[in-house]
Chain A
Amino acid sequence: MPDTLQNPNPQNNISAYYQTRAAHHAVVTSDWLAQAQAAVAREPDGAPDTSVPPVAGKPFSVIDEFNSWRKQPDLAEAVAAIRALAAVIRNCQATTMMELEIELKKASDSLKLWDATSISLTAGCDLFMRYVTRTSALEYEDFNSAKSRLIERAEKFGEISCKARRIIAMLSQDFIFDGCTIMVHGFSRVVLEVLKTAAQSKKLFRVFCTEGRPDRTGLRLSNELAKLDVPVKLLIDSAVAYTMDDVDMVFVGADGVVESGGIINMMGTYQMALVAHSMNKPVYVAAESYKFARLYPLDQKDMAPALRPIDFGVPIPSKVEVETSARDYTPPQYLTLLFTDLGVLTPSVVSDELIQLYL
């Protein structure tokens, strides 16, 4: 399409993460189509089937497994990856623990390569590896029982991650009171679950939903909320400060939670958090615990870039640069609380948890 080709951004690392989010949305745009085609063409490169385990001729591929899990639209990518890795353990032909770990690591690396910009995918894989292999019982048992122990822990981790959304929804119910106004940003399935649960328990609240350009994911969210009979008001992204006075709390999801306690989320979250903070409105983040990543950005530019071409609808001259970053970093001082499946935490606890797990 001519308008997308006009976008002068030389780098072609279109973040697959943000593409696939569009895939789950009913909003189909011209540029999305183009990207979908590009992505399909790209996948065989980006997902090397060199992750074939040592025993040759085996048809099992972790990427296939991953893709099959991902087909369910409600399943988060990281959870699909975790399930795929659990399947790796189950189907692996290794005979020693070392071999198993190496195979697992290879599978995990290939999954991470599938989309290098997705923080939750990387974090989920890393956490899975730590959680599963961090048991001293591995040294004492013989291989088969150790393997079954690993499978058990892997399944458990998978289940916890699956149930994470329910737990978060339960925990956040206390914070939504009758008559409150909630502002949300972007389409987060966790936040949707929270609001769904609140609506089902007959709470009366209304939601201000930002449009979320360029993904326009806000439109999708407002659709969903309208189906639940929740009064929704749609805003353009620039109207956040204008309406912040009427808002009681801000609810966002997260692509990743970093070690400082800040979050990396869709572009616009930082802005909203800043405005909310200056007007003394609480900012709540709903994030599953597998999103805790060992990153520590110092400022907005200190992250791996995730770019997403923007369709302005009109042709842009080539001299004009476009800021295409798809996400931003919100520092912890602007966040009030994190709702995770580990409980309701303050941002400083994230590092606490990571230290416990990684050291």
Chain B
Amino acid sequence: MDARRAPRTVSDPKVRKVGFFTAPPDRSLSGPPDHRIFSFLTSPPPVVDNSSPSAGNSLSPVMIPPPRHSSANLSPLRRDSAEYFPPSASPTSPASFSDDVAAAAMGRGAVAASSSLPGGLGFDIAALKSAASSVPASGLTTVSVVNNFPIGISEKGGGVAVEMQNDQSTRSKSLKEKTTKAERRALQEAQRAAKAAAKAEGVAASEKKGGDRPQEKDRKKEVPQPRMQYDDKSRVEKAKRRAVVKQTEARNRVELFRHLPQYERGTQLPELESKLFELDPMHPAVYKVGLQYLSGDICGGNARCIAMLQAFQEAIKDYSTPPEKTLARDLTAKIGSYVSFLIECRPLSISMGNAIRFLKNRIAKLPLSLSEMEAKTNLHSDIDRFINEKIILADKVIVKHAVTKISDGDVLLTYGSSSAVEMVLLHAHELGKQFRVVVVDSRPKLEGQLLLRRLVGKGINCTYTHINAISYIMHEVTRVFLGASSVLSNGTVYSRVGTACVAMVAHSFHVPVLVCCEAYKFHERVQLDSICSNELGDPDVISQVRGREDINFLDGSSNSAILQLLNLIYDATPSDYVSMIITDYGMVPPTSVPVIVREYRREHLWI
């Protein structure tokens, strides 16, 4: 939620320390460079070393910090600059002490070292940065860097002192968020200077920078890659050359959706079938799954994800490391190639994307000492565990929570065919609750008919209608249960096209909308509309009605220049229309999705 949260230690999970935290800053490393800087400007340096750790957290966690007035802090310090009170004597303002010292130093720097020293100071800052960068990436690295920059930017003077003080007084793990634009610019300039200095300095500095780079890379890796935009001609050409499946792009495309891929249907399947035994790099299980996606045999977020993971399990089982290569890198590359193939068959759903990230993460985390057999069995069991915990058991928990919201006499509405919702309805029926279901369906997929068949088979009282009658039937409905392909970070529900319509109509009738979604499908992306990221289906399906061959008015429309058919697969429902999201972490409001993504993504969502 915000950056002032304390690091998660054992104590006090409930009382949040407002503005104070206990991370003992590791000042020892930045000590010597500080000496250098400070010796330019002031007298004794060691105070910086001793100040913070001892006087860490003397305030009780519940106390609200007194308002910080910069003038109050700066002025007594200017007076006492010559003496340094021992750390123990200032228990009430532990955090401000080091601020004050640095501020004093900076203040004096502003006075004394203004124009003559930037070059020299820049050099020191470079050395400092390379020293600081070998400190493990904790909040401290930025602290020490920010600490010293104001000295370089001598023009800023008092203003920066105040900001810096405020930064340090609200010490947070990621100070980067608190730095102002000016400070960030300064940071960049200093980094550029550091790079130049590093080159001048030679090997030592560059080694240290090298140590810094993997951390940044890791951080970058965690940010998901932006999707490829298909209206960029050169990238499309490049992708085509690398493609396994030869596809022809559809010619008559809607202008607004040119950034999404669309291919001529009916051309891929025969070609792929003919190549079944030729495609050497592709594992047959993956190939099979790809074909199933293409033909639409496997449909639905969970089903696709499980099929893909099981295909990967097979592939890993049959995998053997080629000589001269490491298992981790080669296997990751292979999985990458399988994934590109699957993307060409059908663009990935968000659940599949998350599962692939999990798998690559596990491969990367394999200890190097493992033998190939052990590594493969490890991965196999990891995938099994993922499927079991994140999908199967998660569904059980969701069902358990959701049935508490169904009472006798309810009329439940559902749209399309969601596996989670189906399980909820069947379980509620087993528990003996008296309710009836309205199944809303829509062309061209008509997925609701499958759900209808299964529900009626179990003896549930059902009504079936199409989405154009939604406002007609909504007044009878007491609850709406929807499934989701994913829930995004701003609470937007990304689901089958038509879901947004159902949710909005329900909202206007004051019917609560409950979305059932497993937590592994959550994504940190934010999407404001249904256009920027979507999937385009086969447009010809719109113009044809199965069983009604006489409706052929639009045959041959693909050649018409003025008519374009659009078949969207997904849409985005804003969070205002959703009352509650039922996940395996319990029932949460849509605003809590980023909390779950943040708190548990690293630890639990993936592992």
Contacts and interface: CB of A to CB of B under 8 A. Distances in A.
B203 interface: no
Contact residues of B: prevailing secondary structure? loop
Interface string A159-188: 010010001001100000000000000000
Contact of B585 (A136, A170, A355): A355
A215 interface: no
A262 B592 CA distance: 14
A314 interface: no
Interface string B17-55: 010000000000000000000000000000000000000
A338 to B, nearest CB: 14
B591 A348 contact: yes
Nearest to B594: A352
Nearest to A355: B595
Interface in B581-607: 585-589, 591-592, 595-596, 599-600
Contacts of A355: 585-586, 588, 592, 595-596, 599
A298 B16 contact: no
A352 B479 contact: no
Contact of B10 (A136, A302, A332): A136
B582 to A, nearest CB: 9
A259 B589 contact: yes
A131 B580 contact: no
A167 B16 CA distance: 14
Interface in A216-271: 259-261
A325 to B, nearest CB: 16
Contacts of A356: 13-14, 599
Contacts of A157: 14
Given A163-B62, A351-B595, A294 B586 contact: yes
B431 interface: no
Contacts of A326: none
Q: Which interface class (under 10, 10 to 19, 20 to 34, 35 or more) fits A?
A: 35 or more
B580 A260 contact: yes
Nearest to B589: A260
Contacts of A171: 64
Residue of B16, B595, B596 with most chain A CB atoms under a 10 A cut-off: B595
Given A136-B10, A160-B62, A296-B580, A359 B592 contact: no
Interface in A123-176: 127, 130-131, 134-137, 157, 160, 163, 167, 170-171
Contacts of A170: 64
Contacts of B64: 167, 170-171, 343
Contacts of B15: 160, 342
B579 interface: yes
A341 B580 contact: no
Contacts of A298: 405, 479, 512, 514, 579-580
A282 to B, nearest CB: 19
Nearest to B600: A359
Contacts of A117: none
Contacts of A349: 1
A357 B13 contact: yes
B276 to A, nearest CB: 47
Given A131-B14, A259-B587, 13 more contacts: A134-B13, A135-B11, A298-B579, A302-B405, A341-B62, A343-B16, A343-B64, A349-B1, A351-B588, A351-B595, A352-B595, A353-B16, A355-B596
11 contacts: A134-B13, A135-B11, A259-B589, A298-B514, A342-B15, A343-B18, A351-B592, A355-B585, A355-B599, A359-B586, A359-B600
Interface of B: 1, 10-11, 13-16, 18, 62, 64, 405, 479, 512, 514, 579-580, 585-589, 591-592, 595-596, 599-600
